[in-house]
């Protein structure tokens, strides 16, 4: 058997090309493992940090029904974070290290969560646009080549579609409400539209990882393809709501069979990614505070596990 690195890499690529899932104990190139740790952990951190803008509105939801739905959604996001941290751990990195990377700024999380949620309509816009964008990306990831990540995505996508609908329903209620409510919905769309498009990452030309990630079927579609898909689905929904997407260049292009759209402000995107967005500091401080204040819970859980283990051994 030829176990040279070159041959192992070729066999690995053959498996990917044949559509095999890669499982935790399978041989994999170090870069494949690292790319997955980076992407899955960025995704997990996004879910956990993503709880903050909405968590802020649970106590101020306008009715019991809205409160219950929002609470369930935010709890789902915690669950998504946990599946994803578990998937990342199968690649040989500890949960403590993953959190440490988030708290020290070594690991990224989605740019979108560095924007503030200032009105109730933002709960609608986040569900409709942010979860809507997340689903487009994540449906693709149900077919990603790493088994634990792909399987986590199947369940996450089911929950995300409930999230998207609860957001759309908030927008629908507001846009059919009083003039003031409709104005709130429009204002939320104005503020969340462009950051939602940025969630898909830089253009394909500026993306550092897309080419290799497509070869390894980590990604099945490029950033630009997914962004276009999101715009094509969302533009008619805005029309249905009677709201105007804040892009004068947005227009259906019969020839391309897609919507044309205006230039994204990439300077803003990179500023937010580098830590200079409106809420970056606030978000990280909130996560570090939660980690510090939760130390006693981790210690108690550990002490309980050790005690249980020693009783088990003594029997």
- Applying CB under 6 A, the span of 21-29, 59-67, 178-186, 209-217 interacting with ligand FAQ comes to 209-217
Rule CB under 6 A: say whether 237 interacts with ligand FAQ. Answer: no
Q: Which of 33, 38, 67, 151 binds ligand FAQ (CB under 6 A)?
A: 38
Size of the site for ligand FAQ (CB under 6 A): 28
Chosen residue from 119, 207, 237, 271 binding ligand FAQ by CB under 6 A: 207
Taking a C-beta distance cutoff of 8 angstroms, is the pair 228, 234 a contact?
no
The least CB distance from residue 7 to ligand FAQ, in Å, is 27
Under the binding rule (CB under 6 A), the answer on residue 172 touching ligand FAQ is: no
Whole-angstrom distance, CA of residue 259 vs CA of residue 223: 16
Nearest-CA neighbor of 122 among 47, 60, 202?
60
Residue 82 and residue 95: Cα distance in Å, rounded? 10
| Cross-strand partners of 253 | 258
Q: Is 43 in the site for ligand FAQ (CB under 6 A)?
A: yes
Tokens, residue 69: 């739905």
Give the span between the Cα atoms of 216 and 15, in whole angstroms.
10
Check: CB of residue 74 under 8 Å from CB of residue 58: yes
* 181 vs 271 by CB, closer to ligand FAQ: 271
Residue whose CB is less far from ligand FAQ, 110 or 166? 110
Show contacts with ligand FAQ in window 68-87 (CB under 6 A): 77
Stretch that binds ligand FAQ, among 183-191, 195-203, 258-266, 282-290 (CB under 6 A): 195-203
Task: Answer yes or no: are the C-beta atoms of 250 and 260 closer than 8 Å.
Answer: yes
- Does the footprint of ligand FAQ cover residue 165 (CB under 6 A)? no
Rule CB under 6 A: is residue 124 a binding residue for ligand FAQ? no
Q: Which DSSP symbol is given to 146?
A: B
- CA-CA-CA-CA torsion for 246, 71, 163, 96, nearest 10 degrees? 100
Sequential DSSP letters for 95-120:
HHHHHHHHHTT-S---GGGGS---ST
| Nearer CB in complex with ligand FAQ: 43/185 | 43
H or E stretch at 259 = strand 258-260
CB of 147 to ligand FAQ, least distance (A): 16
The answer to whether 196 contacts ligand FAQ (rule: CB under 6 A) is no
Binding flag, residue 209, ligand FAQ (CB under 6 A): yes
Q: Which residues bind ligand FAQ (CB under 6 A)?
A: 38-39, 42-43, 46-47, 50, 77, 108, 110-111, 126, 130-131, 134, 137, 198-202, 207-210, 213, 223, 273
């Amino acid at each position: 058997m030829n176990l040279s690195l070159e041959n192992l890499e070729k066999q690995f690529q053959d498996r990917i090309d044949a559509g095999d899932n890669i499982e935790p104990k399978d041989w994999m190139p170090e870069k494949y493992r690292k790319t997955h740790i980076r992407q899955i952990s960025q995704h997990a951190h996004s879910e956990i940090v993503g709880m903050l803008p909405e968590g802020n509105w649970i106590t101020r939801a306008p009715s019991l029904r809205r409160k219950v739905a929002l609470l369930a959604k935010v709890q789902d996001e915690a669950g998504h974070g946990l599946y994803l941290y578990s998937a990342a751990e199968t690649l040989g990195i500890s949960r403590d290290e993953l959190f440490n990377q988030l708290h020290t700024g070594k690991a990224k999380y989605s740019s979108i969560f560095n924007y503030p949620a200032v009105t109730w309509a933002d709960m609608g816009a986040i569900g409709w646009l942010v979860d809507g964008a997340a689903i487009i990306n994540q449906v693709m990831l149900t077919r990603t080549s790493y088994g634990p990540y792909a399987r986590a995505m199947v369940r996450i996508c089911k929950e995300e579609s409930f999230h998207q609908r609860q957001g759309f329903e908030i927008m629908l209620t507001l846009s059919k409400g009083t003039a003031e409510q409709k104005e709130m919905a429009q204002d939320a769309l104005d503020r969340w539209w462009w950051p939602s498009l940025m969630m898909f990452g830089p253009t394909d030309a500026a993306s550092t990882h897309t080419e290799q990630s497509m070869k390894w079927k980590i990604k099945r579609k490029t950033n630009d393809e997914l962004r276009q898909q999101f715009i094509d689905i969302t533009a008619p929904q805005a029309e249905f709501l009677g709201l105007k997407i804040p892009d004068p260049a947005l227009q259906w292009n019969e020839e391309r069979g897609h919507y044309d759209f205006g230039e994204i402000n990439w300077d803003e995107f990179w500023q937010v990614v580098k830590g200079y967005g409106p809420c970056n500091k606030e978000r990280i401080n909130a996560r570090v505070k939660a980690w510090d204040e939760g130390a006693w819970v981790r210690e108690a859980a550990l002490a309980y596990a050790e005690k249980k283990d020693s009783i088990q051994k003594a029997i």
